[in-house]
Amino acid sequence: MADRRAEAVRALSRRLGHEFREPALLELALTHASVGEGAERDARGRPFADNQRLEFLGDRVLGLLTADRLMRDFPEADEGDMSARLHALVDKAACARAAETLGVGEALRLSPGEAKQGGRRREGVLGDAMEALLAAVWLDGGYDAARTVFEKAWAEELAAPPRKALSNPKSALQEWALGQGKALPTYRIVDRKGSDHAPTFSVEVTVAGYPPLTAQGRSRQDAEKAAAIGLLQREGVI
């Protein structure tokens, strides 16, 4: 298993197109928090550090890279349109798809329990790792190196037809639900993880008669907006 993961890490490095001057940054970006919660230790007998701090930085790096790209691609777009486009490109689902493009899952360091539960394919795990990878490349090689990885990993997302812009997705979902003769959508927090300075909220939105949908965000409000957008997209409204 160790040899298989080592080869997956080497393959990921090739796909990233970035040779790390500090390989420890790459290893840290690929280390899930579950590793530190288990019995696995590093060469000095200490619990492995995990990628949560890099994820915190990577979230901001991704936002900057995406905003920069959108400014260049849509010179006539207003702030509301740009914000909606940005949100669609930086949400957890988009990050997870980017991670799948690079083959991040097989390169992750997970606890045995997390691996058995499908962590290598889990959207939240993949999305967090992708953000951590962007931060690791940023720290190791700077803005241009991070932008190169972003352009490669997000190529399909950036090439896809732009989604309809929504300045207020929760209001849009409410109007749609009422138009279907349904009660107002309801939201509930189903999970909160991460440290106090960098939490991630998972929120489930429900409209009567339709399957619920769960999305993540850095705040409850962001998660609710992401869930509203996700449900509207799933039902073909936007």
Catalytic residues: 59, 131
CB-CB contact of 103 with 12 (8 Å): yes
Closest among 36, 16, 35 to 26, alpha carbons compared: 16
Q: Provide the 3-class DSSP secondary structure of residue 95.
A: helix
Q: Provide the 3-class DSSP secondary structure of residue 145.
A: helix
CA distance 55 to 223: 17
Closest among 162, 153, 111, 156 to 132, alpha carbons compared: 153
As separate numbers, helices (DSSP H) first and strands (DSSP E) second, the chain gives: 12, 3
